[in-house]
Amino acid sequence: MSSEAPFLEIENLTVKFGGLTALDNVSLKVPQNSVVSLIGPNGAGKTTVFNSISGFVQPQSGEIKIAGQKTAWPKTHKLAALKISRTLQGVGLFSGITALENVMLGSDHKYKAGIVKDLFGLSGRIDRQLRDSAMAQLERFGALSLADKFPHELSYPDTKRIALARALISEPELILLDEPAAGLGQDDIDELAETIRQLKKSCAVLLVEHHVDFVGEVSDQVYVLDFGRIIAAGDFESVKKSPEVLAAYLGGEVGHA
Ligand SMILES: Nc1ncnc2c1ncn2[C@@H]1O[C@H](COP(=O)(O)OP(=O)(O)O)[C@@H](O)[C@H]1O
Ligand SMILES: [Mg+2]
């Protein structure tokens, strides 16, 4: 790949659900080692951008380039091979297995099929290397002591840490984070901001988030969506002052940030 090309480039993405145009000619770029945020009112189409990139919805039109290469819109099961990972809005850990096993399941490792069998007691061997890398992810989040706990035994912020560790074990070049700060208190949001600043050293981040101060703190670039269209793009300070953005939020969050 060209080292100059953005990791992800979307051009003129349009998604329709029946008569509703959820995204209307959306274009955006996520440069390597940068944090790009997508903000906008509820229903603006933010999650639909993620769903288009990750194969959950089929766009009507538009192009996607990954590492400078024009490609088909990714299928869900091809994401790991494309070095793209995502966390879901909400948490989404598997409840019957431990935190460590949840992190291991995020791997696209060739032994994954064997691990799934191991988890359900169908074969004897769990790959040592994969377990070690899952432990390393837990350590990165200060969560080693959580390894053997089940999701229902974890605090909400801890489940979010585990979900992020699971998304990172495949060593993605792009991670899509849908509202990672939702439901967190200020201390955990500050920790998440630090995690994202660290993440940017090894991958690109595309972030959807309602906490505007947090977005301002971590983002290199911000795109504002409203009714499926990009109404402003640029650094946070300039976007915040855009008349279109102020109008879209009607003096709401952004206007007060
Ligand atoms: N699978 C779907 N089927 C039908 N309509 C959908 C679907 N997903 C999203 N929408 C609609 O598309 C619009 C954008 O939704 P979404 O991307 O979830 O917005 P956001 O994440 O910005 O709140 C909304 O009007 C929503 O109701
Ligand atoms: Mg959403």
At 130-153, the pLDDT tens digits run 888 999 999 998 999 999 999 999
Q: Is 238 in the same domain as 127?
A: no
Q: Is 149 in the same domain as 182?
A: no
Q: Is 165 in the same domain as 239?
A: no
163 compared with 121, residue with greater pLDDT:
163
- How high is the pLDDT of residue 120? 59
Q: Side chain identity at 13, as an amino acid letter?
A: L
Is the CB–ligand 1 distance for residue 166 below 6 Å? Answer: no
pLDDT at position 218 over 70: yes
* Average pLDDT value for the chain: 88
Q: Which residue, 117, 137, 170, sits at the end of a domain?
A: 170
What percent of the chain is helix, strand and coil (3-state, nearest 5)? 35, 25, 40
pLDDT at position 110 over 70: no
In tens, the pLDDT along 163-203 reads 999 999 999 999 999 999 999 999 999 999 999 999 999 99
pLDDT at position 209 over 50: yes
Q: Which residue, 170, 193, 217, sits at the end of a domain?
A: 170
Ligand 1: nearest atom to the Cα of 89: 21
**pLDDT above 90 covers what percent of the chain?**
71
Q: Is 111 in the same domain as 151?
A: yes
Domain that holds residue 126: 92-170
Q: Is 144 in the same domain as 23?
A: no
Q: What is the CATH number of the domain that holds 254?
A: 3.40.50.300
Q: Side chain identity at 109, as an amino acid letter?
A: H
Q: How far is the centre of ligand 2, averaged over its atoms, from the C-alpha of 35 (Å)?
A: 18
Q: Is 186 in the same domain as 228?
A: yes
Q: Is 163 in the same domain as 234?
A: no
CA diameter of the chain: 62
- How high is the pLDDT of residue 122? 45
Which segment of 27-31, 85-89, 154-158 scores lowest on mean pLDDT? 85-89
Ligand 1: nearest atom to the Cα of 44: 22
Q: Is 177 in the same domain as 124?
A: no
Question: In testing the pocket of ligand 1, which one of 13, 20, 226 has its CB within 8 Å of the most ligand atoms?
Answer: 20
Q: Angle CA(65)–CA(66)–CA(71) in degrees, nearest 5? A: 55
Give the number of domains in the chain.
Answer: 2
CA 150 to chain centre: 23
